[in-house]
Amino acid sequence: MPTVEFKGKTFNVDEDGFIDDFNGWSREWVDYVKESEGISELTEEHWKVIDILQDYYKKNGIAPMVRILSKVTGFKLKYIYELFPSGPGKGACKMAGLPKPTGCV
Amino acid sequence: MKHKTPLLDQLESGPWPSFVSDIKREAESRTKNAKGVDYQIPVDVCDDILGVLELTYVHKRTHWKHGGIVGVFGYGGGVIGRYCDQPEMFPGVAHFHTMRVNQPGGKYYSTEYLEKICDLWERRGSGITNMHGSTGDIILLGTHTPQLEEIFYELTHDIGQDLGGSGSNLRTPSDCLGKSRCEYACYDTQALCFDLTNEYQDYLHRPAFPYKFKFKFDGCPNCCVASIARADMSFIGTWKDDIRIDQKAVAAYVGGEIKPNAGAHSGRDWGAFDIQKEVIGLCPTGCMAWDGKKLTIDNPECTRCMHCINVMPRALKIGKETGISILVGAKAPILDGAQMGSLLIPFISAEPPYTEIKELIEKIWDYWMEEGKNRERLGELIKRKGFQKLLEATELEPVAQMVKEPRTNPYIFWKEDEVEGGFTRDIQEYRKYHLR
């Protein structure tokens, strides 16, 4: 598994650019990944989504369904795509350090 | 060839078109590069795909890694990421992502269009395709991540073509060829398919559902796109009035002038056409009669199975008052068993702008998006919550046509307001008449 070094931190990532360990996440990771996810500057709203994803994952061990993410953040799906152009799975979950989405994708 | 492929080579013999020969031809064409194409992924991608497949034949195990999350900005689906688990041995297929491209209705093409797709794919992909995926999409098989946005840009800007669906969303709808070249088509399948595909683009490109959801459109109950088995919501053409009978043509069938089933069984001698045996006697409701001269159909008893029309297409025609039956819930076995569509709407008109149909779709989605569990198909939600709950959500009255047979168990739920006195009772009141 390739490693990435950024601002003194090291991350193990897979081919899709997801980190292999949620506990290895840090704010530097978000900084490192944002450009490849089509985001120039992170706003409070980006962080709100990331924080909520992380809280939900810590509590439930899975990522929330899209519907729940919308409900909790108050952001419509359309707005989530405005924040994260590759969507809640590839974009937001990757930045939040959650495991890669699986199933019939 | 770059790799030895003794097992695959065996599949070049025999009469059926060999996928191995085809891929080898593409590999050769890429090596020669007679047109001077500026290949954007390894030239030997086709050699490597045969190499990894040969290894799979030897090991009898797949050599693709689990999953893969790639895509294009703005969309949450459309690309199926895939990575080889032997990238050093087969660098050409280290990345081998599949792109789904939304096909046109009935899969009618012009050469010009297909050539444009091929030129794009030859340069930026493997040159290998699947025409088409089971859901309907044009499948572009095998490219590398940096090419995805490039391909998407050229598809949309130069060819006017969008991606198809993948993930927990509305998948690419597909249709039978309908009125374009079939006299059985009860509505314009391609028009409805196209209209709904455009109407629900957001649901197709940005996963918002508990799980996948598919539409399919069949012009008649013959179901040439198999909507009843392969779509969460199946639209199947039908009619309300009488089957149109051309008695002269019936006589021509009986007289042997016209071949039954349009000659579909000509490969074998089944004897002379016997209308009694092959049509009247096979009618599932027994609603037909033949007195030697005249064919009659008791239309109110006809279930429109299509058999008589299929056997005598030149003598029998679908009615004139046509529309659609809508069935819901078909799915493959995972998790709780395979299902075919269950009848929800016996008859609905199919005229643009299809307002009634869209209202129904949106009611079903509202219900399923609210109640559906993670990765629960509509068919499973119906099983879990009951068909009745779906009727409430869609504001439909239950009718006898919605069941094959009434329930046999007596575990019947009543709503509180249907029961005189309600559900709140006082045990002391009961004790006044019944001592402990």
What does the domain layout of chain A look like in residue ranges? Answer: 3-96
The pLDDT score that the predictor gives to residue B130 is: 98
Q: Are B255 and B205 in contact (CB under 8 A)?
A: no
Percent of chain B at pLDDT above 70?
100
User: Which residues of chain A are within 8 Å of residue B374 when distances are taken between CB atoms?
Assistant: 62, 65
pLDDT in tens, B359-370: 999 999 999 999
For residue B374, pLDDT over 80 is answered with yes
For residue B313, pLDDT over 80 is answered with yes
Instruction: Supply the mean pLDDT for chain B.
Output: 98
The pLDDT score that the predictor gives to residue B14 is: 98
For residue A93, pLDDT over 80 is answered with yes
Confidence band of B296 (pLDDT split at 50, 70, 90): very high
Is the Cβ pair B69, A66 closer than 8 Å?
no
Is the Cβ pair B77, A81 closer than 8 Å?
no
- If phi > 0 it is left, if psi is from -120 to 50 it is alpha, else beta; for residue A61 that is left
For residue B126, pLDDT over 80 is answered with yes
User: Which residues of chain A are within 8 Å of residue B71 when distances are taken between CB atoms?
Assistant: 86-87, 90
Dist CA A29 CA A34 (whole Å): 8
Structure tokens at B369: 């998006």
Compute the average pLDDT of residues A80-97: 96
Is the Cβ pair A100, B75 closer than 8 Å?
no
Confidence band of B404 (pLDDT split at 50, 70, 90): very high
Please state which CATH number belongs to domain A3-96. 1.10.10.370
For residue B197, pLDDT over 80 is answered with yes
Compute the average pLDDT of residues B243-249: 98
For residue A104, pLDDT over 80 is answered with no
Question: Nearest CA to CA, how far is B67 from chain A (Å)?
Answer: 6
The model's pTM = 0.95
Which of B64, B72, B73, B212 best tests the A interface by mutation, with the highest count of A CBs <10 A? B73
Q: Catalytic residue positions of A?
A: 104
Set out the domains of chain B in order of their start, with CATH numbers. 6-158 (3.30.70.2500), 174-230+325-417 (3.30.413.10), 244-317 (3.30.70.20)
Q: Give this complex's ipTM.
A: 0.91
Question: Nearest CA to CA, how far is B175 from chain A (Å)?
Answer: 22
pLDDT in tens, B325-363: 999 999 999 999 999 999 999 999 999 999 999 999 999
